Amino acid sequence: MQDLTTSMRTDMCGHLTAADAGRTVSVCGWVDRRREHGEHLAFIDLRDHTGVVQCVVNSSHDLRSEYVARMTGAVRLRPDDTANLDLATGEIEIEVREIEILAEAEPPPFPLDERTDVDETIRLRHRYVDLRKSRMQRNLRTRALVNSAVRRGMEEQGFVEIETPMLIASTPEGARDFVVPSRKEPGSFYALPQSPQLFKQLCMVGGIDRYYQIARCLRDEDLRADRQFEFMQLDAEMSFVNQEDVFTAIGHAVANAAEAVTGDRPSVFPRMTWLEAQERFGSDKPDIRFGMELVELTSIFEGTEARVFQAPCVKGIRMEGGVEALSRNQIDALVETCQRWGAKGLAWMKVIAGDSGPALDAGVAKFLSDTESSAVIDALDAVPGDMVFLVADERRVVRHVLGLLRLELGKPPVNEGGLHFLWIVDFPLFETIADNGVPVPAHHPFTMPHEDDWGLLEQTGEALLEVRSQSYDLVLNGWELGSGSIRINRSDVQNRIFELLGIGEQERRAKFGFFIDAFQYGAPPHGGFAFGLDRLVALLAGETNIREVIAFPKTQSGADPLTNAPSQIDGGHLDELGLRVLPPAT
């Protein structure tokens, strides 16, 4: 245990045990709870970040909830029948001789126990009080542990920590930039970095070889439980590598973090192609803690009489014991939900015990021929008591909807099922083709296409969707932790990509001129990765909401109830910046 003594305290509240009986100690902290005991005595639970200790004081002292105090006295064993074995310090108490009130306190704005559910805005407005809760203490300390394990992991492998600037020109991550107006050049703006992408690649041109940074990234996007305007990434880049080298390096740092928190080192992370992930899990970030995989049924329904299954693709999932688990109302709600997700419908059937083995019943069962029924049962390995759900549609829609349905029906709680890391590889280079025929890149435009697919880059239109890229994601329990790629270091390939993306000569110069120029001076083959520390910490801490692992987060609407950011600035300041605020659009 670390020595945390100071000139004011000899011990930490939560560390005192029966072994300390007889010692005179001084502890400092906040009054957690007060109970009167008879006429003259009171029990005060004094709390610091290590826990609470019971202090016996004279009841005449005015010690209220959250007062800050220093208590000095002898540690003694509690009488046997009053020991509290649920508490680390439950066998002892301090017989207080001297009390020093270090600060008085207003009554706390909300109770600090873990049971009371407090509105998040109120928690964030008084975050300094909220941080005293053991949950927040634990989460922030877990976060620090992860940061230091990750740092160590990178340094052990020769990565050099380099800080890149916050005030920059735009980065090509594809989200909206936060901008900062320039006073010296009114009408011009800096962008805050969406990532250090361009700088880290320039570090490779600069011979750094292995760069890393625990970097703050800013993206002006709508917030969700797993997203904040500003977030932290472990950002890394390395030279003379292929994607396996990047996996080894990042895997080492992530395994360090997981081990630091859980005590177990995860084994080598498996890999799955993007296509396989889509086909089997209907997602590019599959949660592989549970089965319920999407099963291909298209060939069973080739030439089917049943209208609902006359579609380019049919897949199904099986819910074990679904007949018991789901009411008719719940099933109807699922059908509606799937329609909202974009499917024409959701076909469901119960599996019952028929005369000669399992059979399909209810729902759309009557539309299936006997051969189709038994083929579906076989393909899904269904047994009586299961529910089966089928979607027939365009392949893209089938995967998407069944992927979401699978999560809806089977996803375990965040802290169950262990940590299942997974590399997703061979992403498509382009997401879709826009109406004007221009492909939409899946990542930033410096992502290297798969070498086997370079030939396809000469094509146009839909054929381009076949091009795979050398980019990859790291997924943990259904969350995308981060992504990276091998970068383009050849100007012919880069030019072709710009051409395909419709980024003309002028725009290239304006946006990336400095970057393209740098590559004329000898750019090594390189690649890298970035993963979100907030998400990793949240998962390791068993939290679903990343705000629980950030000391001072913004609310879902992007506001900070503590400091009232964002706030207005005065007219003089605006003048200096050459800015005028327009009245709100009506």
Q: Which residues bind ligand ASP (CB under 6 A)?
A: 173, 195, 197, 483-485, 528-530
Contact status, residue 236 vs residue 211, Cβ threshold 8 Å:
yes
- CB of 96 or CB of 530, closer to ligand ASP: 530
CB contact set of 317 (below 8 Å; sequence gap of 6+):
292, 293, 294, 295, 380, 388, 389, 402, 405, 406, 409
Which residue number, 484 or 553, has a Cβ lying nearer to ligand ASP? 484
Nearer to ligand ASP, 237 or 543 (CB): 237
Asked if 387 and 349 touch (Cβ cutoff 8 Å), the reply is yes
The DSSP output letter for 410 is: H
Least distance (Å) from ligand ASP to the CB of residue 487? Answer: 8
Q: Between the CA of residue 34 and those of 64, 145, 183, 214, 583, what are the distances in Å?
A: 7, 33, 55, 43, 54
Closer residue to ligand ASP (CB): 532 or 553: 532
Q: Which is nearer to ligand ASP, 406 or 511 (CB)?
A: 511
Task: Tell me the pairing of strands 68-77 and 179-181.
Answer: unpaired
In the complex, the smallest distance separating the C-beta of residue 235 from ligand ASP, rounded to whole angstroms, is 7
Q: State the minimum distance, in angstroms, from the CB of residue 65 to ligand ASP.
A: 44
* Residue number, 519 or 529, with CB nearest to ligand ASP: 529
- Minimum Å distance from CB 200 to ligand ASP? 7
- Spatial distance between the Cα atoms of 475 and 224, rounded to a whole number of angstroms: 18
Q: How would you classify residue 559: left for phi > 0, otherwise alpha for psi between -120 and 50, otherwise beta? A: beta
Nearest distance from C-beta of residue 480 to ligand ASP, angstroms: 10
Q: What is residue 234's three-state secondary structure?
A: strand
Determine the 3-state secondary structure of 576 from DSSP: helix
Q: How far is the CB of 466 from ligand ASP (least distance, A)?
A: 22
Q: How far is the CB of 446 from ligand ASP (least distance, A)?
A: 8
Any idea which residue has 């998962």 for tokens?
Answer: 539
Determine the Cα–Cα distance for residues 70 and 534; give it in Å rounded to an integer.
Answer: 35
Question: With respect to ligand ASP, which residue has the nearer C-beta, 120 or 480?
Answer: 480
**Rounded to whole angstroms, what are the CA distances from 563 to 131, 559, 572?**
16, 9, 22
Bridge partners, residue 235, by sequence? 213, 530
Min dist CB 265 to ligand ASP, Å, is 24
Which residues neighbour 461 within 8 Å (Cβ) at sequence distance 6 or greater? 433, 437
Q: Which residue lies nearer to ligand ASP by CB, 175 or 434? A: 175
149/138 Cα distance (integer angstroms): 16
Query: Please, which residue, 428 or 484, has the CB nearer to ligand ASP?
Result: 484
Structure tokens at 200: 């880290």
| Least separation in angstroms between CB 535 and ligand ASP | 12
Cβ-based nearer residue to ligand ASP, 67 or 430: 430
Residue with tokens 């009488």: 79
Calpha distance 74→84 (Å, rounded): 19
The residues, ordered by sequence, that sit 6+ positions from 284 with a Cβ below 8 Å of its Cβ are: 274, 277, 278, 424, 427, 473, 480
Q: How many CB atoms lie within 10 A of CB 254?
A: 25
For the CB of residue 423, give the shortest distance to ligand ASP in the complex, in Å.
14
Which of 92/250 has CB closer to ligand ASP? Answer: 250
CB of 164 vs ligand ASP, minimal distance in Å = 11
